């Protein structure tokens, strides 16, 4: 990686920009946590809903900009974080609390996209296990696609303009405003910086960009033609629906994710919160005889997960018979995972054993998966946003997608912090390439041994400290 860093430094000097690539740090998450769980719990948090950009055809109540705000009302610095593909503001609950606990002068505003307002959490908020077990088995009524045709217009422009409402509010509090995101949220942060908001480049709104295991070209690395944009094409996530078809099915509904699967997953996480060692409901998310905690973690633990972008490392199931499963490698995983064919002792449920050396704690993960403030998912994820991010991952000026207004890539000199998960979807080299493209001062870290979601859920504070140390390097805009 030293060679790569030297090449990027030489390139920036040759271009005469004065940008400099900083040394990459790599670490294994071995140091003990220094912030107690009681302190994390004590970090104040509030959900705020503000009017967002008006989209014709959208019910007025859904034209909204939503943030979950951790920390002081009038902090020195505000970091706004955008969740990734299929993710909600709850993805950042632990990381946000870590950042604020380490530096109370910093607030973190985690974004919920307007699609989160379509979710009905009332049934999940109650604590009756029997009711939750019924939801795990059968889900809840889902909003018909025929009633959500307005989501066809919930694409890049809508998402960035809703986000900008929060950014400008943050700027009314302090000039020290940073944006960032995880996975596709990191893509959106880069696109925000390059976006033209009616003559105002997005990068002028912020002091820097924080990219957590994601870059602007994460979903696609090639130019999408006008025909592909309308009819669909094959991207990083598989088939991407085109503009001609998303009106009929405006939200993601696949074999691995759907509103119903998100609802059932939240209910299983609630059961794992309330009764982790009790048997999971029959006919639920797994056909195996398993405890509630095991049933929840089998869906997302990297050892068993089908998709590398929906994976975390916490430990492993107990009392199992396992076989190698090569399918995830075909879907982008770097190694084969395991499939559980059944319990080793049939009369005993499959359980879960946490690994003290793993980045994330399983019980902590399910405890934060659903809270009264937010959850880790976006049940109704707009297909238009996936389409637009895939098409606009490159400079759109002079392309068939110029109307997307991602025009200012070459002029972005905003500092960039990239943090890759060692076993995630982004490598350090991806950040060096992006930093050279936008000519920003680039700092890169790698959280070794971490899966894609560990970047935001890890029990130790490496990521929080890297973010705080990086923001502290830049002279205050108040000076």
Average pLDDT for runs of 10 along the chain of length 479: 33 32 52 84 98 97 98 98 97 98 98 97 87 95 95 97 98 98 97 96 97 87 88 86 94 92 96 96 93 95 86 95 78 73 93 96 97 96 95 86 91 94 93 89 95 97 97 81
Where are the strands (E) in 141-232, listed by range?
A: 177-182, 196-197, 200-201, 209-212
Cα–Cα dist 381/384, whole Å:
9
**Residue 172: exposed, middle, or buried by beta-carbon count in 10 A (0-12, 13-18, 19+)?**
exposed
pLDDT digits (tens, 9 = 90+) for 211-267: 999 998 877 777 889 999 999 998 877 889 999 999 899 999 988 899 999 999 999
Enter the DSSP assignment of 33: P
Q: What is the DSSP string of 72-97?
A: -SS-SEEEEEE--TTB-GGGGHHHHH
**Bridge pairing between strands 200-201 and 177-182:** unpaired
What residue segments make up the domains of the chain, in order of their start? 2-253+381-471, 259-369
**Bridge pairing between strands 25-27 and 442-451:** parallel
Residue 354: closest CA among 288, 309, 404, 291:
291
What pLDDT, on the 0 to 100 scale, is given for residue 9? 30
- The CATH H-level superfamily of 2-253+381-471 is Alpha/Beta hydrolase fold, catalytic domain (3.40.50.1820)
The answer to whether the beta carbons of residues 465 and 44 sit under 8 Å apart is no
pLDDT digits (tens, 9 = 90+) for 107-120: 999 999 999 999 99
């Amino acid at each position: 990686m030293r060679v790569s860093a030297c090449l990027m430094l030489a390139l920036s000097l040759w271009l005469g920009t004065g940008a400099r690539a900083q040394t990459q740090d790599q670490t294994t998450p071995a140091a003990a946590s220094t912030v107690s769980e009681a302190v994390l719990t004590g970090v104040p948090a509030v959900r705020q809903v503000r009017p967002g950009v008006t989209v014709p055809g959208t019910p007025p109540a859904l034209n909204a900009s939503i943030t979950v705000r951790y920390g002081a009302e009038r902090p020195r610095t505000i970091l706004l974080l955008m969740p990734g593909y299929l993710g909600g503001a709850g993805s950042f609950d632990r990381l946000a609390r870590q950042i604020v606990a380490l530096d109370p002068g910093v607030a973190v505003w985690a974004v919920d996209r307007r699609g989160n307002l379509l979710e009905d959490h009332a049934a999940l908020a109650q604590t009756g296990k029997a009711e939750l077990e019924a939801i795990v088995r059968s889900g809840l009524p889902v909003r018909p696609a025929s009633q959500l045709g307005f989501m066809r217009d919930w694409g890049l422009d809508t998402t960035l303009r809703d986000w900008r409402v929060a950014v400008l509010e943050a700027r009314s509090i302090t000039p020290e405003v940073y944006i960032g995101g995880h996975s596709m949220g990191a893509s959106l942060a880069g696109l925000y910086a390059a976006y033209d908001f009616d003559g105002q480049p997005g990068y002028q709104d912020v002091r820097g960009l924080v990219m957590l295991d994601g870059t602007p070209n994460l979903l696609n690395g090639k130019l999408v033609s006008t025909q592909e944009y309308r009819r669909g094409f094959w991207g990083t996530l598989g088939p991407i629906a085109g503009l001609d078809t998303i009106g009929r099915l405006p939200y993601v509904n696949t074999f691995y994710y759907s509103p119903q699967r998100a609802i059932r997953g939240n209910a299983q996480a609630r059961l794992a919160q309330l009764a982790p060692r009790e048997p999971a409901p029959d006919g639920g998310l797994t056909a195996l005889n398993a405890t509630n905690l095991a049933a929840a973690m089998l869906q997302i633990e990297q050892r068993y997960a089908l998709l590398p972008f929906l994976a975390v490392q916490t430990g492993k199931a107990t009392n199992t018979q396992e076989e190698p499963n090569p399918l995830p490698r075909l879907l982008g995983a770097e190694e084969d995972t395991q499939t559980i064919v059944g319990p080793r002792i049939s009369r005993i449920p499959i359980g879960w054993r946490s690994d003290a050396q793993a980045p994330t704690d399983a019980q902590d993960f399910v405890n934060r998966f659903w809270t009264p403030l937010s959850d880790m998912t976006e049940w109704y994820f707009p297909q238009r946003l996936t389409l637009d991010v895939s098409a606009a991952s490159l400079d759109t000026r002079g392309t068939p997608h110029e109307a997307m207004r991602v025009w200012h890539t070459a002029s972005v000199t905003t500092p960039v912090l990239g943090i890759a998960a060692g076993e995630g979807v982004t490598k350090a080299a991806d950040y060096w390439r992006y930093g050279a493209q936008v000519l920003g001062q680039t700092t890169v870290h790698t959280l070794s041994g971490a899966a894609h979601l560990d970047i935001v859920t890890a029990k130790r504070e490496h990521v929080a400290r890297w973010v705080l140390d990086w923001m502290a390097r830049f002279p205050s805009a108040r000076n």
